Amino acid sequence: MATSNKRTCLQYLLHLAQDNLDFRLPEIKALLSLRGKPFHPSLNFKEKSPFWCLDGLSEEDVRGIMARSVCAKSAFELWGHGQTHSELKTSLLSYPAENMSPFMHKDSTYRINVYTFNKTLEFSDRIKRIDAMEYLTFEGAVSLKSPQHVFCLLEDYGTDPNNIPEHPNYIYFGRWIADGQRELIRSHSVKNRHFIGNTSMDAGLSFIMANHARVKENDLVFDPFVGTGSLLVACSQFGAYVCGTDIDYNTIHGKGRSSRKNHKWRGPDENIRANLRQYGTEKMYLDVMVSDASKPVWREAALFDAVITDPPYGIRESTRRTGSHKDNTKPPDGIYGESHVPVSQAYHLSDIFTDLLNFAAHHLVMGGRLVYWLPVYRPEYSEETVPLHPCLRLISNCEQTLSSHTSRRLITMEKIKEPEELDSLAHLADPRFSPYQGHNAFREKYFSGLNKRCVKDNDNKSDVNGE
């Protein structure tokens, strides 16, 4: 709707979901930076709080963020706030009338919602809260079903469910602007996906990865360990063209044993293209091919706007690459038929990450992002464990705990310079560029006696390499 351009000093309130806490700030920062906006928090910003107040944004910016965010539930134009209802009243009465009047005139319709975090209010108490706000001079008519404007009173009772205060710690009032994209988590759940595997990535995390990677319309996105293509599904939803590779012929061609309960073999159309078709984004599908991520198969060029991937950790799938320990002499070209599968050898995790960072440095466009999962053995983890590269700047590093001793970290890096000849060998010359070596034995540690109980738990709950 057209609003007066006299409206000034607007602040916006984000209401965030209380899961995946670590991933929220990098997501919102990435989405803001897509719009060329910095992150300007106000009002005693606390990262773990469900409410964040942001300055320096327009309503269009906020709508843009909410059109992408899976971490934010809703956004409001903040009209007032305080530690008590009386402070809220003072704050609301001093809010500029010209900011409010376009939404309160007599020809408009409205409703007021009451939302409480960490406390449930009786219906009668909600009504009392609304009645107590009569000092706000809404001149329009109430419409519960289809109001033009929705307002919300939000009460924050803290984050401790075992210690809920009688009165809220903080109260906000604002005009609802937009909801985030939490619905995507349900609509894209792998439970209802056409083609899945043992390590298909959870829908919510896939969208978070696409947001951390700042994937946008018409981007070209690549997943070198594509599996069943969950990350391509998420990126295509945000308008990117997608492609990928996997060493496993059956995965790429949708053949072999099914991962579905009660299905022995995969059906005729169980493949990544069909997954995109399921969500109406088939036109963004470029292709996938059988290829070993440790081998350079791409021409030397900055091809991709984002590289986004979930490498194998060797827990549910093997970490293999083509090649043999034996010193085989190369057969003459064409001696093998099309179906020849080269022998393979172990692909150590530290090599996987060195190759991945080198690949990103060579094949990302400048400013393009690499987003990937790094498995870590928590007792030995420190920030210095994260692999670095002279051409990539670390943007964020978020933990998802898997058990008391293991977690995986979502690493986001941005390309800042074109590689020079020696940059690909930086990990050999400088230990800062290959610090993950110590975690080489992640698989052994994961399955070690210390973790046996956790592995059992995880078999029932979540997979270290997917859901």
Ligand X SMILES: C[S@@+](CC[C@H](N)C(=O)[O-])C[C@H]1O[C@@H](n2cnc3c(N)ncnc32)[C@H](O)[C@@H]1O
Q: Return d(Cα 391, Cα 387) in angstroms, integer.
A: 12
| Nearest distance, CB of residue 246 and ligand X, angstroms | 5
- Does position 77 interact with ligand X (CB under 6 A)? The reply is no
- Least distance to ligand X from the beta carbon of 333, Å? 23
- The edge-to-edge listing of strands for the beta sheet with 392-401 is 285-290, 241-246, 220-223, 304-309, 364-377, 406-415, 392-401
Helices 203-212 & 230-237 angle (0-180, nearest 10) = 60
95/127 Cα distance (integer angstroms): 23
443 and 376 Cβ atoms separated by less than 8 Å: no
- The 8-class DSSP code of residue 201 comes to P
Enumerate residues 6+ apart whose C-beta is below 8 A from 383.
Answer: 397
- List the one residue from 13, 66, 153, 293 that touches ligand X (CB under 6 A): 293
Q: Which is nearer to ligand X, 129 or 320 (CB)?
A: 320
| Minimum CB distance to ligand X, residue 378 (Å) | 20
Residue 128 identity (one-letter amino acid)? K
Binding mask 273-292 for ligand X (x = CB under 6 A): -------------------x
Number of residues binding to ligand X, judged by CB under 6 A: 27
By CB under 6 A, residue 294 contacts ligand X: yes
Contact between 227 and ligand X per CB under 6 A = yes
Question: Among all chains, which residue has been given the structure tokens 């899961």?
Answer: 19
Q: How far is the CB of 363 from ligand X (least distance, A)?
A: 15
Q: Which of 133, 201, 349, 376 binds ligand X (CB under 6 A)?
A: 201
Rule CB under 6 A: choose which of 230, 275, 354, 358 binds ligand X: 230
Judged by CB under 6 A, the stretch of 133-141, 180-188, 195-203, 452-460 that binds ligand X is 195-203
Q: Which is nearer to ligand X, 219 or 317 (CB)?
A: 317
Give me the least distance between CB of 215 and ligand X, in Å please: 15
Rounded Cα gap, residues 325 and 266, in angstroms: 33
Helices marked H in 191-342? 203-212, 230-237, 249-253, 272-278
State the distance between the two ends of the chain, measured CA to CA, in whole angstroms. 42
| Residue 347 makes contact with ligand X by CB under 6 A | yes
Verify binding: residue 254, ligand X, rule CB under 6 A.
Answer: no
What would the DSSP string read from start to end of 250-271?
Answer: HHHHT-SB--STT-SB--TT-S
Closest CB to ligand X: residue number:
227
Q: How far is the CB of 276 from ligand X (least distance, A)?
A: 13
Q: Measure Cα distances from 281 to 187, 209, 270 in Å.
A: 14, 18, 16
In the bound state with ligand X, the residue whose beta carbon lies nearer, of 101 and 345, is 345
- Residues whose CB is less than 8 angstroms from the CB of residue 168 and which lie 6 or more positions away in sequence, other chains included: 116, 119, 155, 156, 157
SS3 call for 326: coil
Question: Which one, 28 or 464, has the nearer CB to ligand X?
Answer: 464
Q: For residue 225, state whether it binds ligand X (rule: CB under 6 A).
A: yes
- Supply the minimum distance, in Å, between the C-beta of residue 194 and ligand X: 13
Using a 10 angstrom Cβ sphere, with 0-12 exposed, 13-18 middle and 19 or more buried, the burial of residue 16 is buried
Of residues 319, 403, 406, 451, which one binds ligand X by CB under 6 A?
Answer: 319
Answer yes or no whether residue 251 interacts with ligand X by CB under 6 A: yes
Report the residue from 126, 182, 255, 320 that binds ligand X according to the rule CB under 6 A.
320
What does the binding site for ligand X look like in residue numbers (CB under 6 A)?
A: 197, 199-201, 224-225, 227-228, 230-231, 245-248, 251, 292-294, 310, 312, 317, 319-321, 347, 465-466
